[in-house]
Amino acid sequence: MVVLFDADSLVYSSCCGVDDILDEAIGKFDEIFMSIVNRLEETYEIERVITFNNSKGNFRKLLDPNYKANRKKQEHPKLLFEMHKHIAEIYSTKNSYGVETDDLVATYWKTLTDELGHNNVIIVSLDKDYKQLPCLMYNYHYKHQEIIDISPYNALYNFYEQMIVGDSADNVNYCKGYGKAYAKRLFKDCNTHYQFTKKTYELFKTIYKSKAKLKYIQCYNLLKLRTE
């Protein structure tokens, strides 16, 4: 099993409440990181762990200036920059410029899954965006701590539901007033990519009229993870 560990959330949480002591933050990260890997080793024979953090220059902000604009006033932990730097050095993490960390993880997932098969690659993350991939995923949140096997159908459903419901964390909401209950009714007879696309685009035409294609493409590119 190859573990793809999206460490951004863990880096962030490890900085919280440590009174500016970097070694304490690193120790907190190491302890949780290893507990997660050890837990996975109870189920899988792990061959390697690839860790990701701190990708920069997100292309989505060029597509829509409002993307994550709701986070601009959010105060970050004082140690966040240093922690990203130290974790990158200690764990030899992967990062990139122009995409988000989850895009890079998704790209590795696609390449490795094509090579090794679905059951030999698992993503470790709290990020719900990975549920648009037909992947194995481990949610390490203390309320969950569960391995999810996302089917191709559920991956399709999850993505197109998000197209409608939006993502409040990233300030993406193109279909205001339409929620999960509406999406469930809209997609009740959908089974293929074409059917999901058709139903979603019809809603965009209802909302945006002549601007539907532009808005649909914009929303799609903001939400879709890059896999190449």
The number of folded domains in the chain is 2
Indicate whether 86 and 157 sit together in one domain.
no
CA 58 to chain CA mean position, Å = 13
Give pTM, 2 decimals.
Answer: 0.94
Domain edge (last residue) among 128, 149, 170: 149
Identify the band that residue 168 occupies on the pLDDT scale cut at 50, 70 and 90.
confident
CA distance 97 to 59: 9
Residue matched to tokens 């007033």: 177
What percentage of the chain has pLDDT greater than the value 70? Answer: 99
Residue 70 pLDDT greater than 80, yes or no: no
pLDDT, position 72: 65
Backbone angles phi, psi at 67, to 5 degrees: -60, 120
Indicate whether 15 and 58 sit together in one domain.
yes
136/73: higher pLDDT: 136
Listing DSSP states for 135-185 in one string gives SEEEE--TTT-EEEE--HHHHHHHHHHHHHH-BGGGTB-SSTT--HHHHHH
Determine the residue type at 130: Y
User: What value does the mean pLDDT take over residues 173-194?
Assistant: 96
Whole-number CA gyration radius for the chain: 19
Indicate whether 138 and 160 sit together in one domain.
no
pLDDT, position 73: 67
- Give domain status of residue 119, yes or no: yes
CA distance 108 to 2: 10
- Give domain status of residue 55, yes or no: yes
pLDDT, position 58: 87
For 11, the domain range is 2-149
User: What value does the mean pLDDT take over residues 157-167?
Assistant: 96
Virtual torsion, Cα 162, 134, 191, 172, nearest 10 deg: 10
Indicate whether 141 and 200 sit together in one domain.
no
- Condensed to tens digits (0 to 9), the pLDDT of residues 73-94 reads 677 888 999 999 999 999 999 9
Residue 63 maps to which CATH number? 3.40.50.1010
> Which residues are bridge partners to 121 per DSSP?
2
- Give domain status of residue 228, yes or no: no
pLDDT, position 69: 75
CA distance 84 to 142: 23
Domain edge (last residue) among 149, 169, 196: 149
Indicate whether 116 and 191 sit together in one domain.
no
Indicate whether 159 and 116 sit together in one domain.
no
Indicate whether 168 and 124 sit together in one domain.
no
